[in-house]
């Protein structure tokens, strides 16, 4: 078989591969840009914490209605938002900083989630809930993923300027506009929404990988915000495609391989990244150059 054919044939031959690819690309369009903003705002661990926080909500939904999309999505959204916003409130009203309260909240919700799933005497292994099933995307799940991607793009287009301003210089935005708080909450809501979408395809833990790894790699490749967003999306989509192809030919589980591919991109960028990678920093550079 020719290489070209090998790279396309799995998708022409199998609908489940096309669905998996469509789902991965939908995730890759929306999640990595949010990851870029999280990184620029030094909130990389927020994604992780919110990812864990989704579990008890989704588990409750699963308890009440079984493996059905709606209740698990709504449960995950509520739990994720509660933790994201709750830890922000704690950091503003108590002595604890946001990272501490995030860690506390996500540990509480993770243990709560595991307890809920276990008490149910789960007939489905917790791993399935944690890891999702990118090979088993049905119409409604795909529709959900596409809707989330579209909503996220629209919202990012609307929020772009204030979000960049707030990320780069929150003080300046506060001096010219009172939208800072709204922007921040809307942004967190988008993060939660995307992680819940990713949860259906990749599971709670790996969904965070699709958000953070392409973004971290893109951060190492350019300093320019727009380019960073575009590169992050491209890397996310490439990881989705390459991961599925590897899973198809090597017989490896799909979700983890997609995230490992994104991780590989990150490691390569770590060494060769022109904007702050390891090799770049070894070479002497001109004064004031990035």
- Nearest Cα to 101, choosing from 60, 39, 58, 53? 53
Report the distance separating Cα 265 and Cα 95, nearest Å: 38
Report the distance separating Cα 265 and Cα 220, nearest Å: 11
Binding of residue 272 to other proteins (CB under 8 A): no
| Minimum CB distance to other proteins, residue 1 (Å) | 14
Among 236, 256, 263, 273, binds other proteins (CB under 8 A): 256
Task: Lay out the site mask for other proteins across 198-237 (x = CB under 8 A, - = otherwise).
Answer: ----------------------------------------
- Nearest Cα to 208, choosing from 21, 47, 80, 83? 47
Residue 288, both tokens:
């004031």
Binding of residue 100 to other proteins (CB under 8 A): no
Report the distance separating Cα 38 and Cα 44, nearest Å: 5
Annotate 239-261 with b (16+ C-beta within 10 A) or e (fewer). Answer: bbbbbbbbbbeeeeebbbbbbbb
**DSSP string of 257-273, one letter each residue:** HHHHHHHHHHHHHHHH-
251 versus 284: smaller Cβ distance to other proteins: 251
Binding of residue 179 to other proteins (CB under 8 A): no
Task: Lay out the site mask for other proteins across 102-141 (x = CB under 8 A, - = otherwise).
Answer: ----------------x--xxxxx-xx--x-x-xxxx---
* Matching residue, tokens 């890759």: 28
Residue 24, both tokens:
């991965």
Among 89, 252, 267, 271, binds other proteins (CB under 8 A): 252
* Matching residue, tokens 């088993």: 136
Among 143, 249, 272, 278, binds other proteins (CB under 8 A): 249
Among 6, 8, 12, 14, binds other proteins (CB under 8 A): 14
Task: Lay out the site mask for other proteins across 20-59 (x = CB under 8 A, - = otherwise).
Answer: x---------------------------------------
Among 23, 198, 255, 273, binds other proteins (CB under 8 A): 255
Q: Would you tell me which residues interact with other proteins (CB under 8 A)?
A: 10, 13-17, 19-20, 67, 118, 121-125, 127-128, 131, 133, 135-138, 244, 247-256
């Amino acid at each position: 078989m020719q290489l070209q054919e090998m790279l396309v044939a799995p998708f022409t031959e199998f609908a489940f591969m096309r669905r998996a690819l469509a789902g991965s690309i939908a995730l890759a369009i929306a999640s990595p840009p949010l990851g870029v903003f999280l990184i620029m705002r030094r909130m990389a661990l927020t994604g992780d914490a919110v990812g864990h926080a989704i579990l008890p909500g989704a588990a409750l939904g699963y308890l009440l209605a079984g493996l059905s999309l709606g209740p698990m999505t709504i449960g995950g959204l509520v739990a994720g938002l509660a933790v994201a916003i709750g830890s922000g409130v704690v950091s503003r009203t108590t002595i604890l900083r946001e990272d501490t309260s995030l860690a506390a909240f996500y540990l509480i919700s993770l243990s709560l989630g595991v307890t809920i799933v276990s008490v149910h005497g789960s007939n489905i292994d917790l791993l399935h809930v944690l890891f999702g099933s990118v090979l088993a995307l049905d119409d409604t799940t795909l529709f959900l993923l596409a809707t989330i991607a579209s909503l996220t793009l629209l919202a990012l287009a609307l929020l772009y300027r204030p979000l960049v301003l707030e990320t780069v210089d929150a003080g300046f935005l506060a001096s010219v506009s009172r939208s800072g708080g709204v922007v921040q909450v809307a942004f967190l809501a988008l993060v939660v929404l995307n992680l819940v979408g990713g949860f259906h395809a990749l599971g709670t833990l790996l969904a965070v990988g699709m958000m953070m790894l392409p973004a971290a790699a893109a951060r190492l490749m350019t300093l320019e915000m727009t380019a960073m967003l575009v590169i992050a999306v491209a890397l996310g989509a490439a990881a989705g495609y390459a991961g599925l192809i590897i899973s198809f030919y090597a017989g490896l589980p799909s979700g983890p391989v997609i995230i490992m591919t994104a991780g590989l991109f990150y490691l390569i960028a770590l060494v060769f990244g022109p904007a702050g990678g390891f090799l770049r920093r070894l070479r002497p550079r001109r004064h004031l150059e990035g």
